[in-house]
Structure 1
Amino acid sequence: MRVQALGCYGGEAYDCQLTSLLVDGKLLLDAGSVTTTLSLDTQATVDHVLISHIHLNHVAGLALLAENLLGVRSRPIEVWSIPPVINQLKTHLFNGILWPDFSVLPSPLRPIVSFHELLEGRPHQIGEYEVTAVGVHHTVEAAGYVISDGASSILYQGDSGPTTELWRLANRTAKLDALIVEASFPNRLGDHAVRTGHLTPELLRAELTKLRVQTSVYAQHMKPQYISEIVEELTALSDLPVSPLDQGKTYHFGTP
């Protein structure tokens, strides 16, 4: 499995792209920066998008991706998430007011976007991947995912404060090669992180004690104004080491 870190930050600034990961050039995990990091030709190869939640820094690129591919693709981009998130995308983003409803454009029979619901805790086949979604703790309904191609699996947390079901899913996942987790704020803002459904390095360390598997751990969604502080605190973690996700880098998991 090849995972390209298009953007790995929770805010946008110079050299900081919003959260978006591309798996094997086909499957997008959140869509904050897809249109600012990929060429138009490469955007057209994306078949599926997993959205963790409705917040703008995770879906802004999805709106622009739909517009970019209008008249370019013959098949719709399939957008997947848990039912509340799908409903929010239709109601608040692709609603014909904030943005055109590309689920009926250029025509209802040949839309550029189609929406698909994932039931929590059940594996679903999305292209060549088996995907399982579970709810995580955030200020709006949100999901984390385990994605498997049969040879390897990765866990993508999205935005989440302290949670439970995601780690239970991790513990029963075979061939779990990597966790891509969040660390949005430095430790001194722990109270704010908890109120807003996020993690600090200290809170992340406590979350990782719920794991019963050994695997690589990568942190993303750092807020740009706190990057150096968060990275320093991540290096001080004991037990499982946590590496900051490197924007622009392509990671290879499982058998090459």
Structure 2
Amino acid sequence: MDIRVLGCSGGIGGSANRTTSLLIDEDILIDCGTGAATLSFEQLLAIDHVFITHSHLDHIALLPLLVDTVGDFRTRPITVHATEETIRILRSHIFNWLVWPDFTAIPDRDHPFLRLQSLAVGETIELGKRRISAVPALHAVPAVGYRVTGARGSLVFSGDTTLCDAQIEALNAMADLRYFIVETAFPDAQHDLALAARHLCPSMLRVLLNRLTVDPEVFVTHLKPGLVEQISAELKTGFGRLQPGLLHNDQVFSL
């Protein structure tokens, strides 16, 4: 199983800044930010499942366009997996006929282009030999991270989160954890903003990593454009056993 980074920026601006989306093999997305726009029509047509961490626009921006683009060319709906709270937001504020058509009823409810399936923290979806589990997260809206497990171990994507005791506990219970992709949206100068928005900054990331008893490779994502150099510099000092690196577009992880 391969996981390819389609986008990992906290914002837009130029071709390098694509918001969050990870492609698993050819048929699964974790989040559907602007990074998904790098896929060709044929690649978009192959997407059967989308796992959404939370409802913020940088993580769902391409989802309405994805369904609209390929729905009429598929023989089965795209299934979106998310918490019940996130599904409620998608129904109320996106697929509501005002912002975008309700593709759970197009062309009719018996043959929709889109299916919304709720999952809970701790629940695992098995897709062939691949297992995707929702892990806790703590953000400004209801949110989860995801654990992806293959034959050679697990990768966890934190999703958008501040320090979350339940997520740290879940990580420490994963003996097979190889990779941890974790957000760090703000520099330490904006520590108060990070707290208010329920994101991480480098000093908070140090606390998180110091509490881990597992030994994954750590990659930082979701840096705000315009602050990348500042955050990157702060990520180079003060870390101990788990020294984070930066996540990059088109990076591939094999499990």
Report if TM-score (shorter chain) is over 0.5: yes
Per the TM alignment, residue 10 of structure 1 is displaced from its structure 2 partner at its CA by 1.1
Map of 2:204 onto structure 1: 203
SS at structure 2 position matched to 1:224: coil
Q: Is 1:114 aligned to 2:115, yes or no?
A: yes
Identify if the C-alpha distance between structure 1 residues 127 and 118 changes in structure 2 by more than 3 Å, giving closer, same or farther. Answer: farther
Q: 2:80 touches 2:115 (CA, 8 Å); kept in 1?
A: yes
Which amino acid in the other structure matches residue 102 of structure 2? Answer: D
Whole-Å separation in 1 of the counterparts to 2:28 and 2:170: 21
Could you say if the C-alpha distance between residues 237 and 107 of structure 1 is closer, same or farther in structure 2, counting changes exceeding 3 Å? farther
Equivalent pair of 2:155/2:178 in contact (CA under 8 Å): yes
Change (3 A) 1:34 1:94: farther
CA distance in 2, matches of 1:109, 1:202: 50
More displaced 10-residue stretch of structure 1: 34-43 or 177-186:
34-43
Task: Please say if residues 130 and 149 of structure 2, whose CA atoms lie closer than 8 Å, have aligned partners that are also in contact.
Answer: yes
Structure 1 spans left out of the alignment, 5+ residues = none
TM-score by length of 2: 0.95
Q: Which amino acid aligns with 1:91?
A: S
1:248 aligns with 2:250: yes
AA aligned opposite 2:247: L
The whole-number CA distance in structure 1 between the counterparts of 2:25 and 2:174 is 20
* 8 A contact 2:7–2:36 mirrored in 1: no
Pairwise CA distance, 1:134: 3.0
* Counterpart residue type for residue 152 of structure 2: A
CA contact (8 A) 1:48 1:126 kept: no
Report the CA distance between 1:34 and its aligned residue. 4.5
Q: What per-residue deviation string (whole Å, max 9, x for no partner) do you get for residues 70-121 of structure 1?
A: 2111111110011111111111111111111111112212211111111212
Question: Is the 8 Å Cα contact of residues 11 and 18 (structure 1) preserved in structure 2?
Answer: yes
2:189 partner amino acid: R
Corresponding position of 2:12: 12
Matched positions, count: 253
TM-score normalised by L of structure 1: 0.94
Deviates more, 1:49-58 or 1:18-27: 18-27
Q: Shift of residue 22 of structure 1?
A: 0.7
Find the aligned partners of 1:118 and 1:126 in 2 and give their Cα distance: 14
CA separation of 1:157 and 1:176: change in aligned 2, threshold 3 A = same
1:52: which partner in 2? Answer: 53
The answer to whether the Cα contact below 8 Å between 1:70 and 1:106 also exists between their aligned partners in 2 is no
Task: Give distance in 2, aligned partners of 1:205 and 1:67.
Answer: 42
**Aligned partner of residue 235 in structure 2, secondary structure:** helix
Amino acid paired to 1:234: L
Q: CA RMSD in A?
A: 1.4
C-alpha distance in structure 1 between counterparts of 2:237 and 2:151, whole Å = 34
Q: How does 1:230-245 map to 2 (within 5 A)?
A: 230-239=231-240, 240-245=242-247
1:166 correspondence with 2:163: no
The sequence identity of aligned pairs, in percent, is 34
Mapping for residues 143-162 of structure 1, pairs under 5 Å: 143-162=144-163
Q: Which runs of 5+ in 2 are unaligned?
A: none
Whole-angstrom distance in 2 between the partners of 1:57 and 1:231? 21
Distance 1:245 1:167 in 2: 20
Q: Partner of 1:88 in structure 2?
A: 89
Question: Aligned partners of 1:27, 1:174: CA distance in 2, in Å?
Answer: 24
Q: What one-letter code is carried by the residue in structure 2 that aligns with 1:243?
A: G
Aligned letter for 2:206?
A: R
- Structure 1 stretches (4+) deviating beyond 3 angstroms? none
